[in-house]
């Protein structure tokens, strides 16, 4: 429909956004790749030299790197597991004709709007503190030994905190998908004597599988970059127990001032994120045509 | 789905849902309650849930100690500034793609989305050095621009999906009836586009308000918005839970209310139209 504008004005309207994003993508990407080939430390200005793939060799053989990859996988995997299973169950519950459904929904989605630094500090101190925290008090009531969360299970603690923030997202998206399910199909299955489990696996799950895939992919993109929750709770520790790839690159760049090495890490992070992004883009692209 | 349930089953499910909803919401409620306690009561075991001496002291002390209002103002400027700037660039772009699509429109949209998927840490080093060399570290301007660029793909996408739903026939009809271009825009287009623009604004203010990667890495104190300022409460010396709670309550309350109004837009904006 070229009635409103001519081609030229359409292009003029589009180009600022395209040029800005192009610059936002290419300049940092180009610089990161360039820096990753240099020996470049901010503490030794003027001593930059070209070293080829040395940074990558160093980065990829550094034990901290394997820890970081492993931690990234554990973190993303753990949060996905909790939010997908929890979110699906919660969405199924909220889809029932319960009283006050709207209010319960507001309660459930609230954590999504809490900024990461706040949720991390509130959980770490007021809930998970081994002496004065609420969890310690509850454990005490039941006669159990309180858990020193960040000392005994630092990664699990971070996973729980971040999951709390993302559970609402998974629930809300799944619920949206559930509500578009044709109830006649389900009633027919019930008439034919299908139990709740077979209804879930043969009717509901196929219907929401697309939404769940979208949740998995979008969460993965964001969760690869979890940072604030780690910074304010464990600072990557103890040791490297909670250092993910994002945090490792941050530490190399802004704590060790090793620009070259940090950039190599950044490139690795980009490659990993792209693998996920390809699948997500394909899925969204398909929908755009429909 | 309005399925029939026996009253007892309905009551059971309702109880379960409310219990779970309450547990999920509890950390927010707990933060709110703790913000009215004294520091002593905040760490007391067993904790008191409602029957303590309610005080507003923490709120005034948070302001006195750290100039809370300045950080709140930084949050407002950065969140709204980046969103408005983003809308300014994105509205014409989304408009032209929705109403005069070309062969490359789909490709451009997908490419824009792909830039959103680059991990921020991949750009951390260059952006940090550019800001340092331009003297933009710890300034609001740098964050406004960076958060604008970061959320631009989402803004364009959301606007595009809204604009695409505006029927082109209506424009034709208005023109047939002799409306001038100006009248067409004021009386036909704007009223139909405003809800979509408002939803986009809302979601992006929320995202920018809660952003905590760039704000933590590029600000020290002057330009720190609330998401970065709150991190200063992570210092190990002393437990200031009541003050932490007061600062947190103020930081999340406005955005929580906005968020509750934006449930639908949230699904739409964050799944890029893939779930309806």
pLDDT range class, residue A94, cuts 50, 70, 90: very high
User: Is A14 a member of any domain?
Assistant: no
- Per-residue pLDDT, averaged over B55-77, amounts to 87
State what percent of residues in chain A have pLDDT above 70.
97
Report chain A residues whose CB lies below 8 A from the CB of B7. none
User: Is B98 a member of any domain?
Assistant: yes
User: Is A243 a member of any domain?
Assistant: yes
User: Is A205 a member of any domain?
Assistant: yes
User: Is B231 a member of any domain?
Assistant: no
pLDDT in tens, A191-225: 888 888 888 888 888 888 888 888 888 888 889 88
Q: What secondary structure does DSSP assign to A230-248, as a single string?
A: HHHHTTT-STTTT--HHHH
Count of beta carbons in the 10 Å neighbourhood of residue B223: 23
- Give the integer Cα–Cα distance in Å for B179 and B202: 32
pLDDT in tens, B178-190: 777 777 777 877 7
pLDDT in tens, A41-65: 888 777 778 888 888 888 888 888 8
User: Is B195 a member of any domain?
Assistant: yes
Q: Is A258 helix (H, G, I), strand (E, B) or coil?
A: strand
Average pLDDT, chain B: 86
pLDDT range class, residue A19, cuts 50, 70, 90: very high
pLDDT in tens, A156-189: 999 999 999 999 999 999 998 898 887 788 888 8
Query: A98 CB contacts (<8 Å, ≥6 apart)?
Result: A104, B10, B13, B14, B17, B18
Report chain A residues whose CB lies below 8 A from the CB of B119. 224-225, 246, 266, 269-270, 272-273
Domain membership of residue A247 as a residue range: 61-289
CATH code of the domain covering residue B102: 1.10.3720.10
User: Is A54 a member of any domain?
Assistant: no
User: Is B47 a member of any domain?
Assistant: no
User: Is A52 a member of any domain?
Assistant: no
Q: What is the pTM of this model?
A: 0.88
In this predicted structure, which of A1-15, A143-157, B198-212 has the lowest mean pLDDT?
A1-15
Q: Is A189 on the interface with B (CB under 8 A)?
A: no
Query: B198 CB contacts (<8 Å, ≥6 apart)?
Result: none
Tokens of B83: 């969103």
Which backbone phi and psi does A91 adopt, to 5 degrees?
-65, -40
User: Is A258 a member of any domain?
Assistant: yes
Output the CA torsion sign for A79, A84, A88, A91: positive
Angle between helix A63-94 and helix A101-109 axes, rounded to 10 deg: 170
Tokens of B23: 């547990």
Higher pLDDT, A266 or B100: A266
Whether the per-residue pLDDT at B234 is higher than 70: the answer is yes
CATH code of the domain covering residue A253: 1.10.3720.10
CA dist list (Å): A123 to A127, A225, A290, B88, B206: 5, 20, 43, 38, 21
User: Is A31 a member of any domain?
Assistant: no
Q: Is A76 on the interface with B (CB under 8 A)?
A: no
Which backbone phi and psi does A165 adopt, to 5 degrees?
-75, -30
The answer to whether the CB atoms of A167 and B24 lie below 8 A apart is yes
Domain membership of residue B151 as a residue range: 76-223+254-270
Highest mean pLDDT, choosing among A31-40, A106-115, A201-210:
A106-115
Length of chain A counted residue by residue: 290
Are B43 and A128 a contacting pair, CB within 8 Å? no
pLDDT in tens, B158-168: 899 888 888 87
* Helix residue ranges, H only, chain B: 7-34, 39-42, 57-66, 68-99, 105-116, 121-133, 140-163, 168-176, 181-183, 190-210, 214-218, 226-229, 241-261, 263-270
Report chain B residues whose CB lies below 8 A from the CB of A254. 124, 128, 217
State what percent of residues in chain A have pLDDT above 90.
34
* Helix residue ranges, H only, chain A: 7-35, 54-61, 63-94, 101-109, 116-121, 134-141, 149-152, 154-178, 183-191, 196-199, 205-223, 228-233, 245-250, 259-289
Interface of B with A in 75-104 (CB under 8 A): 89-90, 92-93, 95-97, 99-102
Total domains in the fold of chain A: 1
ipTM of the complex as predicted: 0.87
pLDDT value of residue A2: 45
């Amino acid at each position: 429909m070229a009635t409103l504008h001519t081609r030229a004005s359409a292009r003029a309207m589009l180009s600022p956004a395209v040029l800005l994003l192009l610059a936002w993508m290419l300049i940092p990407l180009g610089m990161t790749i360039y820096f990753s080939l240099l020996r470049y430390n901010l503490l030794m200005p003027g001593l930059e030299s070209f070293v080829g793939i040395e940074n990558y060799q160093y980065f990829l053989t550094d034990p901290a790197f394997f820890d970081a990859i492993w931690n990234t996988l554990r973190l993303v995997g753990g949060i996905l597991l909790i939010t997908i299973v929890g979110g699906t169950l919660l969405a199924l519950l909220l889809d029932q004709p319960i009283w006050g459904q709207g209010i319960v929904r507001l309660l459930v989605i609230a954590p999504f709007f809490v900024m990461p630094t706040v949720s991390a500090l509130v959980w770490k101190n007021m809930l998970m503190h081994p002496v004065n925290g609420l969890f310690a008090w509850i454990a005490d009531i039941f006669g159990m030994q309180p858990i020193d969360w960040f000392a005994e299970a630092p990664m699990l603690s971070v996973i729980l905190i971040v999951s709390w923030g993302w559970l609402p997202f998974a629930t809300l998206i799944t619920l949206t998908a559930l509500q578009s399910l044709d109830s006649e199909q389900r009633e027919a299955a019930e008439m034919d004597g299908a139990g709740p489990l077979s209804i879930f696996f043969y009717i509901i799950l196929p219907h929401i599988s697309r939404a769940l895939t979208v949740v998995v992919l979008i969460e993965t993109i964001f969760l690869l970059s979890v940072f604030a929750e780690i910074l304010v709770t464990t600072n990557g520790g103890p040791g490297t127990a909670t250092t993910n790839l994002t945090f490792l690159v941050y530490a190399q760049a802004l704590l060790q001032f090793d620009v070259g090495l940090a950039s190599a890490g950044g490139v690795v992070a980009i490659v990993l994120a792209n693998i996920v992004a390809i699948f997500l883009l394909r899925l969204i692209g398909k929908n755009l045509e429909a | 789905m309005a399925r029939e349930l026996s009253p007892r089953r309905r009551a059971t499910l309702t109880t379960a849902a409310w219990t779970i909803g309450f547990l999920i919401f509890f950390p927010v409620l707990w933060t709110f309650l703790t913000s009215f306690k004294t520091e002593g009561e905040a760490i007391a075991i067993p904790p008191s849930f409602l029957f303590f001496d309610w005080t507003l002291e923490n709120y005034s002390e948070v302001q006195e100690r750290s100039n809370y209002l300045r950080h709140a103002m930084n949050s407002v400027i950065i969140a709204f500034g980046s969103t408005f700037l983003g809308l300014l660039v994105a509205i014409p772009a989304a408009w032209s793609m929705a109403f005069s699509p070309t062969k490359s429109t789909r490709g451009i949209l997908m490419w824009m989305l792909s830039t959103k998927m680059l991990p921020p840490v991949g750009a951390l080093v260059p952006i940090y050095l550019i800001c340092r060399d331009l003297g933009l570290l710890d300034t609001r301007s740098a964050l406004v621009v960076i958060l604008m660029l970061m959320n631009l793909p989402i803004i364009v996408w959301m606007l595009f999906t809204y604009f695409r739903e505006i029927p082109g026939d209506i424009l034709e009809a208005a023109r047939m009836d002799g409306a001038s271009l100006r009248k067409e825009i004021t009386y036909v287009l704007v009223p139909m586009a405003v809800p979509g623009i408002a939803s986009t604004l809302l979601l992006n203010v929320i995202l920018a308000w809660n952003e905590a990667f760039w704000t933590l890495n590029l600000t020290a104190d002057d330009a720190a918005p609330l998401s970065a300022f709150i991190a200063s409460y992570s210092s190990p010396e002393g437990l200031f839970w009541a003050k932490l709670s007061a600062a947190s309550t103020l930081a999340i309350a406005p955005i929580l209310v906005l968020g509750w109004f934006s449930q639908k837009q949230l699904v739409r904006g964050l799944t890029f139209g893939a779930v309806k």
